[in-house]
Structure 1
Amino acid sequence: MQIYLPVADLPVNILLVLAMGIAVGFVSGMFGIGGGFLMTPLLIFIGISPAVAVASVSSHIAASSFSGALSYWRRQAVDPALAAVLLVGGIMGTALGVWLFSFLRSLGQLDLTIALSYVVLLSAVGGLMLWEGVSAIRRARRGEAAMPRRPGSHVWIHGLPLKMRFKRSKIYLSAIPVVTVGALIGFVGAVMGIGGAFLLIPIMIYLLRVPTGVVIGTAQVLTLTTMAMATLLHATTNHLVDAVLALILMVGGVTGAQFGARAGQRIRGEHLRLLLGLLILSVGIRFAVELVIPPQEIFTLRETGTSP
């Protein structure tokens, strides 16, 4: 059953797009991540332009993050002060990312930039997660316990100036790395169409030493705000948000997430990390293959948005 996407300007099989939304929602529910790193490539692989895919998935991530952020807020599992400082950087990073997105699109280099970004980022992150997952499984088989992080341990980041006290997280930390992390996540999200939770959560836990009890909720607030802002900017400046596509993905994503959350509770943590690493790495390899395979059509026609 075909449906026409007005902004993407092509017909797609609605059942295929719905199935993609369910599958990505399942993965998101299982691993506790946004799923944008998977949804955007899948849309590109079925023929939707990278620009429309990134902009439309941003709206999907913002909508899916709303319920999660609200739930964690009600449970007081969000650090408001930490979220506010992250948002300072996140808003700046998102604005810069959308500007670069528009600039690269005007030059005709946006598609290549997005593909290269996915190859580098997903291959690196997927490889590290795969290695860590395999190491954890080996330690478990040998009966070795993982080395716990010592309470109160510090790294060089904790010696930076402009320190703030984040009461709910119970940490005393410079605002500089927090703003920087927020800017990085906002920038990456605007350019690549990913929420960035699979990057943000490890950074907050292992680099900023934020307690795990408030990490996910605080990350959800940042993802919600930056993706909502990216959607607004993409819609007003680039006119690339396809509401029909985003709606179908939302329906599928909400449905799949319910089943994924149940499945994730039955799998051991190290196995989950191994599976997630394999998934991320496979998407990065798929993009790398696309870059080296000769295209079926040598020439393409694309509107640049410039007036004669």
Structure 2
Amino acid sequence: MLVYTKQNDLKKHLEPLIDSRQTIGLVPTMGAIHQGHLSLMQQALEENDTVVVSIFVNPTQFNNADDLKKYPRTLEKDIAFIETLSDKIIIFAPSVDDIYEGETIAQEFEYDGLENQMEGVNRPGHFNGVGTIVKKLFEIIWPTRAYFGEKDFQQLQIIRKMVQKFRLPVQIVGCPIFRQEDGLARSSRNELLSAEAKQEATLIYKILKQAREMFPESSLENVREFVTEEFKKHPNFALEYFEIADEETLVHAIEKKAGKKYRGFVVAHIDNVRLIDNILLN
């Protein structure tokens, strides 16, 4: 398995592949690889000649220094896990200095308002950091396709908008949320949970499914109130927000409109870990 830690070395390896018009699939990650990541890699392997997986904890998308500090970093374990899927995958695991070339500052982006909803409100500057690192990866690797999970649905929509605005020649592929058998969305942050908290965290998806069942016959406010009250019954949880939004614009939904798709978005804290999830409601 090839592992590159410097962007110039990776560029030299990929250049003849790009020149010969081979397709390249990119799976950007921040490490702590789990089965959900492997599902993205599997799809990328099936659809491309070459697959690159980036492993990089991006400092500019964290607006909480403690969150950045405690984010799991398990590079050797990650590489070994990826190799169980395929030894043909190329790993790109650069340093902060190599990516940011001595100036760890996020570029300013404008995403037509997508950045002002939900995570944009609660994590100022977060999507500037996301846009900065994803754009840098695209400019280093020049992938044909890039694969992102729908768990971070707002991020997925924002990356699509960035690609559109900068006219980048890459297809963004959104992949379904990979869940454990108990419904918990797979996330690198799950590794920070105690066994008890991990079991209790399955409540998130259970409540989202109940909200989906209510959605056809209930008002939006009734669904929102139901979710809020359900979380109050579980004192180990701190609900940061539950939002019902138009899937395309991510704007807070006031009333249901024909032909629109709506998603329920939730952020909840347990065991001092911030977990996110979402579900298509109609």
Structure having the larger proportion of residues in strand: 2
Structure having the larger proportion of residues in helix: 1
TM-score (norm 1): 0.27
Could you say which structure has the greater relative contact order, defined with CA pairs below 8 angstroms and 6 or more residues apart? 1
TM-score (norm 2): 0.29
